[in-house]
Amino acid sequence: MIVPHDPLYVTRPTLPPRDDIEDLLKKIWDSRFLTNRGPLLQRFETELERYLDVPHVSIVANATLGCMVALRSLGIDQGEVITPAFSFVATAHAARWVGFDLVFADIDPVTLNLDPKDVERRITPRTRAIFPVHCYANPCDVEALAEIGARHNIPVIYDGAHCFGAVDEGGSLLRHGDLSVVSFHATKVFSTFEGGAIISHDAKTKQLIDRLCNYGIVDETQIEALGLNAKMSELHAALGLAQLPYVASDIEKRAGVSQRYWDQMSGIPGVTCVCPPNRAGLNYYSFPILVGQQYPMSRDILYQKLQDVGVHARKYFYPLLADLPMYSDVSPGGLDNARRASEQVLCLPLYPDLASTDQDRIIACICDPCG
């Protein structure tokens, strides 16, 4: 009898022991503060500021709302935002929901992040923000983007959805830009099931962001801005507090899984591993590969072969944002690197407790796809 394998998904959340959350739940039940910047949320913000070593954290219900609030905090809702054509759809949707016209720019073919030279080419008098993504927590060319932003007096707001725990020489990747947004979704390195945060650099901006997340309310009689509801509940904050002590060891386990992929797959003709695991400071959020022309089959056929053996790799990010029907009004020109990445990328299962026998099964299928 053939025993079918359990399906292997692109990710699988890790959870803190249930006991770790009991005390926190008791606090919620005792206080009956369930949301609206309750005591656990405030404690969670302080612990995140310390953990990430960033000046100000505003916790939000998810990173999509976080991106909307971050863009809205600029105080403008018209004009253009330059963003990569290669990202998860939330990046573009957030800017469009706030009311901006999108300008898609091309990416660097190696890092798959926004190409600063192409950004500069696309700046017009209507450009209001540069909105890059640290794709798979690979750092953008932050210096070039900061320099372009400063020279043209245009803010840089990072979609750092993937970046929890990722650092460069100077500290957290999330410290870059005028603002950065990170996701705590179930599929991320650090999760509150749904959640996220906006990182800001001064108390006044944090206050504005916190108010925008709460309908723009200042106090019982004053509403100063067109806010929305982007608040995180106490239950989600409790999950975050319980999860935080485990994230560093989760990242270490992810590093081991990444290294194993790298050791066994980096020499396969036609396969490019996008995030070599040997650079310090990675969070090993994802293991994307590019399936190039030297590989014996296309990315889509490999994707199907993996599906057939229960391996649910994902094409993050396909389709190209510029090809989506709601963006048919945005110029799709000059996006060759983004288009190629979108046609070649495949993210392999990566999570802290991915068993080595399961990983071997994935690697075997990629090393010998016709076998």
Binding site for ligand T4K (CB under 6 A): 9-13, 62-64, 87-88, 90-91, 133, 159, 161, 183, 185-187, 196, 312, 316
346 vs 317: CA distance, rounded Å: 8
Q: Find the shortest distance in angstroms from Cβ 207 to ligand T4K.
A: 23
The DSSP line for 245-308 is: GGHHHHHHHHHHHHHHHHHHHTTSTTEEESS-TTSTT-----EEEEE-TTSSS-HHHHHHHHHH
Nearer to ligand T4K, 12 or 27 (CB): 12
Nearer to ligand T4K, 174 or 268 (CB): 174
Q: Residue 91's closest CA among 193, 186, 183, 9?
A: 183
Nearer to ligand T4K, 10 or 268 (CB): 10
Q: Find the shortest distance in angstroms from Cβ 188 to ligand T4K.
A: 7
Nearer to ligand T4K, 203 or 326 (CB): 326
Q: Find the shortest distance in angstroms from Cβ 242 to ligand T4K.
A: 16
Nearer to ligand T4K, 186 or 273 (CB): 186
Q: Find the shortest distance in angstroms from Cβ 2 to ligand T4K.
A: 23
Nearer to ligand T4K, 191 or 295 (CB): 191
Q: Find the shortest distance in angstroms from Cβ 85 to ligand T4K.
A: 13
Q: Find the shortest distance in angstroms from Cβ 193 to ligand T4K.
A: 7
Q: Residue 129's closest CA among 161, 106, 101?
A: 101
Q: Find the shortest distance in angstroms from Cβ 151 to ligand T4K.
A: 26
Phi and psi at residue 328, to the nearest 5°: -65, -15
CB 76 within 8 A of CB 101: no
Alpha helices in the chain (DSSP H): 18-31, 39-52, 63-72, 89-98, 116-122, 142-152, 203-212, 234-243, 247-265, 299-308, 336-344, 356-367
Q: Find the shortest distance in angstroms from Cβ 183 to ligand T4K.
A: 3
**Residue for token pair 């640290």:** 134
36 vs 42: CA distance, rounded Å: 10
Backbone CA torsion sign across 238, 226, 158, 201 = negative
Nearer to ligand T4K, 13 or 332 (CB): 13
Q: Which helix (H) or strand (E) holds 172?
A: strand 171-172
Nearer to ligand T4K, 63 or 70 (CB): 63
Taken as a whole, the chain contains a residue count of: 371
Peptide bond into 319 cis (omega under 30): yes
